[in-house]
A and B are shown apart, each in its own frame.
Chain A
Amino acid sequence: AQSVTQLDSQVPVFEEAPVELRCNYSSSVSVYLFWYVQYPNQGLQLLLKYLSGSTLVKGINGFEAEFNKSQTSFHLRKPSVHISDTAEYFCAVSLSGGGYNKLIFGAGTRLAVHP
């Protein structure tokens, strides 16, 4: 079975500072990795995904993530955050190669950007 651990439930940061949201996963088979963002009172939006290839993945809104197979991690980073980045961020995995597309989510990290 697969599982996802988001190591921080809340991350406060000042505007224009860098941020890293941590995600570790557990799986005995190959997985695909995703980061989703949920703004208040909205659905989830895909930030970026890793399927294969380069381990550094760039996404929307200036976010990037690095896949580290040996550490089973997929941490999300942004060099300079804005107030508008305040939201909940979810790391997720799905089995690679399956004929279905079930996402398993972490518990989420609430990013609070302060002026």
Chain B
Amino acid sequence: DSGVTQTPKHLITATGQRVTLRCSPRSGDLSVYWYQQSLDQGLQFLIQYYNGEERAKGNILERFSAQQFPDLHSELNLSSLELGDSALYFCASSVGAGTGGEQYFGPGTRLTVT
């Protein structure tokens, strides 16, 4: 158990809908990361937040947005969902913001868009 929690574990929704994925980092960690794992794209970095501020952005679609709240939990919002958004979404956390620090991964949320 990494100490990172993600809810829900599974989510099934229809095209065009909007969903929110939630992540609670390990106690004491200030950075939260979101990654997408799909069969065709592999594991891709989406975004990093550090203490409430956006720190780095990857290939995150404009239909996707994220935020980190004052209690340090984070939410990833996915809107106008398409079939291709079906994937496993991982949240990770680390103590600091900088490179080299170990990232602890949650169990993931499996999103299925039908």
Contacts and interface: CB of A to CB of B under 8 A. Distances in A.
22 contacts: A32-B99, A32-B100, A41-B107, A43-B4, A43-B92, A45-B105, A49-B100, A94-B99, A96-B100, A98-B98, A99-B55, A99-B98, A100-B48, A100-B97, A100-B99, A101-B31, A101-B100, A101-B103, A102-B45, A102-B58, A102-B99, A105-B44
Given A46-B103, A98-B98, 9 more contacts: A43-B90, A43-B92, A51-B100, A94-B99, A101-B31, A103-B33, A103-B45, A107-B42, A108-B43
A113 B32 CA distance: 34
Contact of A97 (B31, B35, B58, B99): B99
B101 interface: yes
Size class of B's contact patch? 20 to 34
